[in-house]
Amino acid sequence: MLVTLEGIDGAGKTTLYKGLKEKLTDLRPLFTREPGSPYIGDAVRHAISKNSDPLVEAALFVADHAVHLATVVRPALEAKKLIISDRYTDSRYAYQQISLKGVHPDPKAWLAAVHEGWSIVPDMTFLLLISPEAAMSRVSDRGGKEHFEKAEFLAEVQKNYLELVAENPSRFVLIDATQKPETILDFVEKSIRERNAK
């Protein structure tokens, strides 16, 4: 089963991810993330930090996904493992739809076409929702300077996520990310266990 965690920067994904790592050890899940695949992950980080060409960045995110699928996700699914990924394809729909505006006439169609036929859709996606201002204040506490981390941008990213929810209502579980981290963790842990037992 493939579970993904999504949300704007500062929504608390990393805290949730770390918490799940501690709580779900008995299920022996495979914890993974995007971006961060072998050999492409570094190129992606380089592109993000240099605020490079949007098309280069998008192509690298897709390449990272392809390597992630080939080397991590597909083999683990074949071995019937539980996989938990911190970010996945929805991140591209949420973020690259914005960065590719003006670069491609229809970024969403491009994203759909580029994943078509080989990518794998998650079984369950937890989306952490928070106001961009609250997310920003959390992120600025961390001193993050990446160009993604701007409030107006994050508002648009979240809007794109909500559009994906409207299009795929059965896959998404929405989480109010202003709740206490323990409350969020307990709920997500329980939801994963229930689904995994089916």
Q: Which of 12, 19, 29, 35 binds ligand TYD (CB under 6 A)?
A: 35
d(CA 38, CA 15): 23
With residue 17 as reference, give the H or E element that holds it.
helix 13-23
Report the candidate in 187, 162, 194 with the shortest Cα–Cα distance to residue 6: 162
Q: Which is nearer to ligand TYD, 48 or 174 (CB)?
A: 48
**With binding defined as CB under 6 A, does residue 96 bind ligand TYD?**
yes
> Closest separation between CB of residue 117 and ligand TYD, Å?
18
For ligand TYD, the nearest residue by Cβ is 95
- Please list, residue by residue across 47-66, b when 16 or more beta carbons sit within 10 angstroms of its beta carbon and e when fewer do: bbeeeeebeebbebbbbbbb
**With binding defined as CB under 6 A, does residue 153 bind ligand TYD?**
no
- What SS3 state is found at 172? strand
Binding pattern to ligand TYD, positions 10-29, x when CB under 6 A? ---xx---------------
> Closest separation between CB of residue 45 and ligand TYD, Å?
8
> Closest separation between CB of residue 131 and ligand TYD, Å?
16
